[in-house]
Amino acid sequence: MDNFNLHLSSIEDIKEEEKRLQEEYKQKLAELKKIQKEKESVGQVFTKGLLPIYVLHILSISPSNGNDISTKIGERTSGLWVPSTGGIYPLLKKLEKDEYIIGEWDNPKKKFQKIYSLTDKGLVEYEARRHLLRPKIEEALRVFKIIYTDLYKN
């Protein structure tokens, strides 16, 4: 009978340990999801807030295709921000629909890649957004500097 009780006790211990590990797993998974969500929200500041004007800026310099725009942003930011083409192409479609840019096939017969150019309306929009966003970007830089100093310089 002692052997039997010892066996039951070890089964109960194993079940208790399984339950504890499962709870720990759920907690760690929730923490990872929270971190991922925070990273995504930081990324959205760039994607939703700065990407449209920066694409217009890149196109104000020279016509480009979507891959080149992503590459140029990566080069200009020393690789710190390289937007995915999955974010670039829907934006290009929207900008084209708004008539801020026009996309033309490099070879209309093969339709290999579309080269996007800024329209006159797009240039006006770019200059307006650039003027409008300047104080907001400067303010954001000041806030980031304060937060950075508070978090890492004290």
DSSP state of 63: -
| pLDDT per residue as tens digits for the range 90-144 | 999 999 999 999 999 887 777 778 999 999 999 999 999 899 888 888 888 898 8
Give strand pairing partners of 103.
116
User: What domains sit in the chain, N to C, each tagged with a CATH number?
Assistant: 44-152 (1.10.10.10)
Average pLDDT over residues 70-91: 91
DSSP state of 8: H
Q: What is the pLDDT of residue 39?
A: 54
Q: What is the pLDDT of residue 44?
A: 47
Q: What is the pLDDT of residue 60?
A: 96
Q: How far apart are CA 43 and CA 46, in angstroms?
A: 5
Spell out the residues 6+ positions from residue 47 whose beta carbon is closer than 8 angstroms to its own: 83, 87
Q: How far apart are CA 93 and CA 148, in angstroms?
A: 36
